[in-house]
Amino acid sequence: MPIEYEILPFLDWLLPTVGERYGALLQFAASFAILATLGLLVWYLFAAIRLGPSEGFYAVAKVVFNAFSQDLPGFSLRRTFALARLAIQESVRKRVFVAFIVFVIVLLFANWFLDDNNPNPGRLYLGLVMTTSNYLLLVLTLFLSAFSLPTDIKNRTIYTIVTKPVRPSEIVLGRVIGFASVGTAMLALMCVTSYFFVLRGLNHTHEIAATEMAPTGEPGANSWKGRTSFDAHHRHEEVIIENGQGVTNLEMGHWHQVTVEGEGDQRRFVVGPHQGMLRARVPVYGKLGFLDRAGQPAAEGISVGDEWVYRSYIEGKTQSTAIWTFRGVVEPKFPNGLPMEINLGVFRTHKGNIEQTVLGELFIVNPNERAKFRRSEVIPFSSREFEPLEMFLKREINGVDARGKLVPVDLFRDLTDNGALEIHIRCAEPGQYFGMAQRDVFLKASDRTFMMNFLKGHISIWLQMLMVTSLGVMFSTFLTGPVAMLGTFASIVLGYFSNFVVKVFDGMFQGPDALKRFVRELFGIPEEAGVPGGGPLESFVRMLRQANQTSDLELGIAQRPAEYLDVGFMLVVRLFVQLLPDFKKFDNSAYVTYGIDVEPNLLAAQIVTALSFVLVTSLIGYFFLKTRELAA
Amino acid sequence: MNRNSSFTRKVIYATCIALLLYPLYYLGQPATRDSKGGRLAQIRAEQGIAQSQLGDIDPASETMRLATLGLRGVAVALLWEKANEFKMKKDWENLSNTVHQIIKLQPNFISVWEFQGHNLAYNVSVEFDDYRHRYEWVKRGTDFLVQGSQYNRDDPALLWYIGWIIGQKFGRADEHKQFRKMFPVDEDFHRSLKDNGDVAIDSPDARGPDGRPDNWLVARLWFDKGISAIRAGKSLRRKSPLVYYSTTYMQRINHAMMIEEEGTLDEKAQFAWQRAHEDWNRFGDMLVPSTWGHNIRLNDLTKLRAERDEIAERLEEFTAGARETIQAEKMARLTDEERTAMDVLPKDRTHPQELMVEGVRQKVFVSNREVAERADEKNRVRALELARRLTDLEQVYLVHTQRYRDQVNFDYWMLRCEIEQTKDAIEARKHLFDAERYLDDVNPDAARKSFELSWDRWAALIKKHPEMLNAETVANLSAPLRKYAEVMRQLDLKIPEDFPLLDVWELLRKSQGIPRSEIDPDSPANRSDAADPAAK
């Protein structure tokens, strides 16, 4: 499963590392400090314009002081939950459960829209339910949270609340909790429905007619070879049974176990349920390093011209090697050996023998240079592209001694160094290449249950829902309903496309122009980064003129003003995007669809980020509501 | 504003709404089984663009299009972006699904089907290292296009593309050897093509020498379906009719060539070439709309030439030597400078002289009309008619027909079909096939003997059909000839003096720029060099 960003251990992510990174805690604190300072400054400016400099200062200071001296100590969870209950009642009155009905209708008619012939229906179904849940829930909470407070203010029903001893913080937090509870209930329903939909949708079996199976091996060996029937848009062309037990080939992302029952005329070949589509593998990732063709350490492998640079390549039949260094490889975790999974890219520079896949070789190396056995025997393998290659490195393995002889060794005792070991992979054929990325090779700890992983995937949706709720409530404290809704929607879109926004911004400052060079240096924008085409105004002009992204605009005297407008606009958007969370990084559906357990480090980081975001937006909402004149 | 005026306004509005219902009904009434529907529905039916006339109606597609609320273009643009991103990231499942969504929103855009079908069958398939996976994705591309043909019934462009992929991709790709083994036994795929595409894949027309469907012949069924659609009035859009028809009738030729390459060198191969010949003749008899506004029949060349000769004779009868007389008169009017330029040898002319000579050619050209005008008064009208027809034949029909024949190499393939079905040709190829096998078994002696048996047969064929001695034949025999040369070198032998394909050999050597010494320093061709200063 390709993941293009690094996932650090939680504490490494949270806390600063000297000389390497600031850590999330410091970044959040810095962002909060900058935001607070700027916020106070802007607030003071507005207050000063309205009331004069000293009155303005007094007004701001009073609110801030009261926030910490009265509102914070006087904060009541009881009142907050009461308001939350009101928010829930309001949502139920608005018939929010219609969204669930829409969800069910989408699932009922999903088969109409889905690709029957998809090479991996498991991923398709899982992707469908998670994406549908995600989008529906976000839209629901968007409308709920953005319109609630402005409607109350417009209808004057807010007075029934503010006239009671209720603090603005309780109003804001109460709504956030209330709408989040509604969203949670909806998500729970969707999660359960999705789970059974997926199970039911993927459920299928095959039959094996006796005529489709031919005996193999010696008579009486109960070994067979054949194929299954054509069901659910596919058949398994290879069924291999030995001693009464067998397995089909991998087709459409799954396989089946096959058993032989009975004998003679009563013999039946029974195909079990599908396996491999609904899994939660627990990967243990290592750190990837490379050796170049001369055997020297290299930062990365070779580029073969692929547009997507996720993988880099090693050359076959040279000293070019990909090395994964694993830690924590201990006997209790892997009692019998090392189950591992390899996902490689293959690049051929010549056809070779196309009836055979490109051969590779693998060996284990002890990181300790003074170890008695430095490495294991070479284990050949046939590469598989776009399909996981599962290998099991037995505990009893042959190692290479100082004289180069093969000697039986124990993997844990002789080839690891305090739980660390290296796995070296090479391509064995000249002129062919293997492509790999950090997460392409991993050790498999025991599988977790698919159900738990499915749930964890929905937790990420829940976190997104929480952030959207808090954003919506925040905007609704100072904007009208439709504007708050637009603002929240824009935040979601920017959150999803933050990478693209950064690329557009970076692309606007490419070129030899002195000013552009200055901005590049100021923001640390690399050369030739970003996408061409300019900002929204320039893009609009290009669309009208049907000009491509790289041609000169030739606007004459309007060129500069247009550029400056774009720069100004994009600067604001760029800074705003910096404050928003990257919603794409909250999307854990890939883990669920690819059958990889959601990493606890990732989930923890997401939870901390989301809660921090909710805290900050609630705080902003509190101050806006506090200073708002509701009677106006 | 009082209640009366409000009520009056409401009455007026209601009346207007009621009145507007009539034109709305007249324009927008949908067609049903019992009625032609409103004006718009009738226009759609006349133009053949009603949804039901285009192809199958898919409720999912209609629902999705409605659900976009007029933003179908935006949705489609986003989906295309996603598809490109998934392709870049080699996420084939999501690519397949996204493409599926795109065509739900654009079911009647032929170019979308063509583009994505090609994308799946060609671009995505080659990303896989295992040929079996490549085969699966070529099938996916084909299935995709077959699905497109259901949404766009009898669209010649789609039908052509399906035939093209089944023929070319399965039959000529790098993996064609493997694909051609997998295709005939892929019953699930055959069933899918038959059920969804309504082609007679189990008919004898689709079966190869092993009795199973052959990809080239199945492709031909699809092309044929396209031709039927064209005959029924469907537009070819931007496709050339000549290319369309020639591709159709090349399939049997491709099939025959391929089965020989695979070792079927007996009466089955002969039969295949016979059928190919019949098909090519059928192509020659077809009326092909040309870009010049008239139809062309490729087989008519001989007939047109005969007609031209006959008319020229009859014109000559009416005009009796007028052509020569007119030419002499025109020559007499040339200037001295022009005469001088004409006298200079072509290789010695300067550029101005070249231009002058070109001008002189146009000046002294005698048109048929000029000849006809010299006829007697009583025959002049008839002579002028003959002259007009003769000019049309010489400058239009003959030229265009020959040009179209040249475009598709019609003569070469006709000759090839005629020759390949002969026993000599089959034997020649059989010996070549044996020679290749002996080479694979590292048995150069046996390979040499087989090669030489083959050359004898080829020589006999060339003697019977001297027109065979051309660039295409040389290209065809180039690889075996070079292998033979290599075998001779390995055996330390010289190419015999009476090498039966010496002419072909020389043509090959010259066409590929092979120096004499590289082939055989002692070859008869080399020995003749000493007497040939031009060769030096």
Report, as an integer, the average pLDDT of A618-629: 87
**Does residue A65 lie within any of the structural domains?**
no
Report, as an integer, the average pLDDT of B430-438: 94
Question: Which pLDDT band holds residue A115 (cuts at 50, 70, 90)?
Answer: confident
Give the SS3 label for residue A302.
strand
**Does residue A32 lie within any of the structural domains?**
no
Residue A132 touches chain B, beta carbons under 8 Å: no
- C-alpha–C-alpha distance, residues A587 and A606, integer Å: 10
Residue pairs spanning A and B at CB distance below 8 A: 66
Report, as an integer, the average pLDDT of A473-495: 92
**Does residue A116 lie within any of the structural domains?**
yes
Supply the DSSP string of A412-460, one letter for each residue: HHHS-BTTBEEEEEEE-STTEEEEE-GGGEEEEE----HHHHHHHHHHH
Which residue, A445, A463, A480, sits at the end of a domain? A445
Residue A342 scores a pLDDT above 90: yes
Residue B512 scores a pLDDT above 90: no
| Amino acid B531: pLDDT | 41
Do residue A394 and residue A486 come from a single domain? no
| Amino acid B52: pLDDT | 64
Which residue, A445, A462, A487, sits at the end of a domain? A445
CB-based contact B519:B509 (threshold 8 Å)? yes
Most confident range, picked from A8-22, A446-460, B23-37:
A446-460
Residue A426 scores a pLDDT above 60: yes
| Amino acid B217: pLDDT | 97
Q: Which residue has the tokens 């002058």?
A: B356
| Amino acid B256: pLDDT | 96
Do residue A441 and residue A452 come from a single domain? no
- Report the CATH number at residue A333: 2.60.120
Do residue A383 and residue A429 come from a single domain? yes
Minimal CA separation from B222 to chain A, in Å: 22
Do residue A463 and residue A606 come from a single domain? yes
Residue B490 scores a pLDDT above 80: yes
Do residue A293 and residue A393 come from a single domain? yes
Range in A4-18, A34-48, A134-148, B156-170 the model is least confident about: A4-18
| Amino acid B2: pLDDT | 67
Minimal CA separation from B304 to chain A, in Å: 50
Do residue A270 and residue A296 come from a single domain? no
Residue B297 scores a pLDDT above 90: yes
Mutating which of B93, B178, B181 best tests the A interface, going by the most A Cβ atoms within 10 A?
A: B93
Do residue A430 and residue A476 come from a single domain? no
Assign residue B90 a region (left: φ > 0; alpha: ψ between -120 and 50; beta: otherwise). left
CB proximity under 8 Å: A 269-328 to B = 307-308, 310
**Does residue A18 lie within any of the structural domains?**
no
Helix B351-364 to helix B336-343 angle, to the nearest 10 degrees?
Answer: 110
Q: Which pairs from A109-114 meet CB under 8 Å and 24+ separation?
A: A109/B60, A109/B63, A110/A197, A110/A201, A111/A201, A112/B59, A112/B60, A112/B63, A113/B60, A113/B64, A113/B101, A113/B104, A114/B97, A114/B100
Residue A531 touches chain B, beta carbons under 8 Å: no
Question: From the CB of residue A298, how many other CB atoms can be counted at a distance below 10 Å?
Answer: 17
Residue B126 scores a pLDDT above 90: yes
Do residue A441 and residue A456 come from a single domain? no
Report, as an integer, the average pLDDT of A464-483: 93
Do residue A376 and residue A410 come from a single domain? yes
Residue pLDDT, tens place only, A386-405: 888 999 999 999 999 888 88
Residue pLDDT, tens place only, A521-546: 887 888 777 888 888 888 888 888 88
Minimal CA separation from B130 to chain A, in Å: 6
| Amino acid B521: pLDDT | 46
Residue B524 scores a pLDDT above 60: no
Do residue A225 and residue A113 come from a single domain? no
**Does residue A632 lie within any of the structural domains?**
yes
pTM: 0.84
Range of the domain at A479: 76-204+448-496+599-632
Residue B204 scores a pLDDT above 50: yes
Contacts B133 to A, Cβ<8 Å: 385-386
Do residue A232 and residue A106 come from a single domain? no
Residue B529 scores a pLDDT above 70: no
CB proximity under 8 Å: B 440-459 to A = none
The beta-carbon neighbor of A355 closest among B90, B131, B133 is B131
First CA to last CA across chain A, in angstroms? 55
Residue A144 scores a pLDDT above 50: yes
The average confidence (pLDDT) of chain B is 88
**Does residue A533 lie within any of the structural domains?**
no
Structure tokens at A305: 């011209």
Residue pLDDT, tens place only, B442-469: 999 999 999 999 999 999 999 998 888 8
- C-alpha–C-alpha distance, residues A563 and A537, integer Å: 8
**Does residue A22 lie within any of the structural domains?**
no
Share of chain A above pLDDT 70, in %: 99
Distance set, CA B59 to CA B30, B52, B56, B65, B198 (Å): 17, 12, 10, 10, 22
| Amino acid B407: pLDDT | 94
Cβ distance A355 to B101 less than 8 Å, yes or no, reads: no
Residue B470 backbone phi and psi in degrees, to 5: -145, 180
Which residue, A412, A427, A445, sits at the end of a domain? A445
Residue A195 scores a pLDDT above 90: yes
Cβ distance A119 to B93 less than 8 Å, yes or no, reads: yes
Question: Which pLDDT band holds residue B536 (cuts at 50, 70, 90)?
Answer: very low
What ipTM, to 2 d.p.? 0.85
Residue B519 scores a pLDDT above 60: no
Question: Which pLDDT band holds residue B57 (cuts at 50, 70, 90)?
Answer: low
**Does residue A588 lie within any of the structural domains?**
no
Residue pLDDT, tens place only, B19-56: 998 888 888 887 776 777 888 888 887 776 766 666 76
Residue B518 scores a pLDDT above 70: no
Do residue A221 and residue A322 come from a single domain? no
Q: How many domains does chain A have?
A: 3
Residue B222 scores a pLDDT above 50: yes
Residue B13 scores a pLDDT above 80: yes
